[in-house]
Amino acid sequence: MADKPVIYVLNGPNLNLLGMREPEIYGSDTLDDIAGRLEDRAQELGADVEVRQSNHEGHLIDWIHEAEADEAKAILLNAAGFTHSSVALHDAILAVSVPVIEVHLSNPHAREPFRRKSLVGEASYGTISGFGALSYLLALDAAMQL
């Protein structure tokens, strides 16, 4: 295990388009903007963050397994569209001992009905959503308290 606790921050499909994609829902911050704030906050807390994004479900699953092997303190997971459909991500979360905090920029419960069911959330330690980019920082603070 590293000298400092490591928090994995895993981002799913289309989050590479933050800042351009539907800013009225997701805000104007890019994923790089959010990663920079997370890195600054982690440094203040004495931790490191490993921020990654993929449009491929299998990459997210591999990184969840990697977080377990690396003895990460926690995983912040914004599974994006996979939140509502991925039994495989649900099962990967249950297969590891690393606590997973589900993160969303928007509030899925205030959106389309299909977004109100979260297979990822059902397997996660907790969920933080609806606070825009601040959701990630709140989740990081929560992860450090685990």
Query: How much is the pLDDT for 108?
Result: 80
For residue 26, indicate whether it is catalytic: yes
CA dihedral 47, 53, 54, 60 (to 10 degrees): 20
2: pLDDT strictly greater than 60: no
Q: Which of 8, 90, 104, 136 is catalytic?
A: 104
For residue 112, what pLDDT band results from cuts at 50, 70 and 90? Answer: low
Sorted by where each begins, the domain ranges of the chain are: 6-145
Helical residues (DSSP H) of 1-77, grouped into ranges = 23-26, 31-45, 57-69
22: pLDDT strictly greater than 80: no
Q: Which of 8, 26, 90, 136 is catalytic?
A: 26
For residue 110, what pLDDT band results from cuts at 50, 70 and 90? Answer: low
CATH class of 6-145: alpha beta
In single-letter form, the type of residue at position 24 comes to: E
Average pLDDT over residues 71-93: 96
For residue 8, indicate whether it is catalytic: no
Query: How much is the pLDDT for 25?
Result: 73
d(CA 146, CA 144): 6
d(CA 136, CA 9): 9
pTM (predicted TM-score): 0.93
